[in-house]
Amino acid sequence: MKRLILMRHAKSDWSANGDDHDRPLNRRGEASAAAMRQWVRRQGWLPDEVLCSTATRTRQTLTLLGLPEIPTRFERALYLAEASDIIAVLQGATAETVLILGHNYGIADCASALVSHPPDHPRFTDYPTCATSLISFDIADWSKVTQGTGQCEHFAIPREVIAENT
| Tens digit of each residue's pLDDT, the chain (166 residues) | 999 999 999 999 988 778 889 999 999 999 999 999 999 999 999 999 999 999 999 999 999 999 999 999 999 999 999 999 999 999 999 999 999 999 999 999 999 999 999 999 999 999 999 999 999 999 999 999 999 999 999 999 999 999 987 6
- How many domains does the chain divide into? 1
What is the model's pLDDT at position 110? 98
Amino acid at 132: T
Q: What is the pLDDT of residue 14?
A: 86
pLDDT of 117 reads 96
Instruction: Specify the DSSP element, H or E, that contains 33.
Output: helix 27-43
CA dihedral 76, 143, 115, 160 (to 10 degrees): -50
Q: State residue 15's pLDDT score.
A: 81
Q: Tell me the C-alpha distance between 94 and 91, whole Å.
A: 8
- The pLDDT of residue 17: 76
Per this entry, what is the length of the chain?
Answer: 166
> CA 104, CA 108: separation in Å to the nearest integer?
6
Output the domain CATH number for residue 18.
3.40.50.1240
Predicted TM-score of the model (pTM):
0.96
What local confidence, expressed as pLDDT, does residue 18 receive? 80
Residue-number span of the structural domain to which 52 is assigned: 2-164
* 92/28 Cα distance (integer angstroms): 33
Cβ neighbours for 41, distance < 8 A, ≥ 6 positions apart: none
DSSP string, 89-156: HHTT--SSEEEEEE-TTHHHHHHHHHBSS--S-TTTTT--TT-EEEEEE--SSGGG--TT-EEEEEEE
Q: Are 18 and 151 in contact (CB under 8 A)?
A: no
